Amino acid sequence: EDQVTQSPEALRLQEGESSSLNCSYTVSGLRGLFWYRQDPGKGPEFLFTLYSAGEEKEKERLKATLTKKESFLHITAPKPEDSATYLCAVSGGAQKLVFGQGTRLTINP
C-alpha cells in the first residue's frame, strides 16, 4: 500500500528564516512525486513533479529534491505570502495520487 508521511505537521518561521519540509514515502513503482500548495478555502495548487532520485526543481523561493525514500521542500528566505499548507503526494500509476496530511507553514513578518 502506498503511503506518504509529512513532517512537521506545522512550522512557524520568521520572515527570511530558511527551512525544509519533509515528505517520506513508500510506493510500489514510483511514477511521480508531487508538491502542492493549498491556501485556506481553496483547492491545491500544483508546484512540482519529481520523477527520479537526484532530481531537483526550483520555483522562486522553493526548491524540491527527491531521494529513493523521501523528498524535501526547501524554502529560502520566506516571505509572509509563502504561508500556506504544503501537500506532498505520490503516484504509483494510473494518475492515482496518495497524499500526505500536509505541513501548515506560517511565516511571521
Partner 1 sequence: NAGVTQTPKFQVLKTGQSMTLQCAQDMNHEYMSWYRQDPGMGLRLIHYSVGAGITDQGEVPNGYNVSRSTTEDFPLRLLSAAPSQTSVYFCASSSGTTGGYTFGSGTRLTVV
Positions touching partner 1 (CB under 8 A) are 31-32, 34, 36, 41-46, 49, 51, 87, 89, 91, 94-102
88: closest CA among 1, 26, 41, 16? 26
Q: Which residue number, 18 or 52, has a Cβ lying nearer to partner 1?
A: 52
CB nearer to partner 1: give 41 or 109: 41
Could you identify the residue written with the cell 499548507?
A: 85
Q: Find the shortest distance in angstroms from Cβ 43 to partner 1.
A: 3
List the grid coordinates of 54: 537526484
Would you say 45 or 60 has its CB closer to partner 1?
A: 45
Residue 106 beta carbon to partner 1: minimum distance, rounded to whole angstroms = 17
Q: How far is CA 84 from CA 27, 36, 44, 102, in A?
A: 26, 10, 10, 10
Quote the least distance from Cβ 2 to partner 1, whole Å. 10
The set of cell numbers assigned to 90 is 505520490
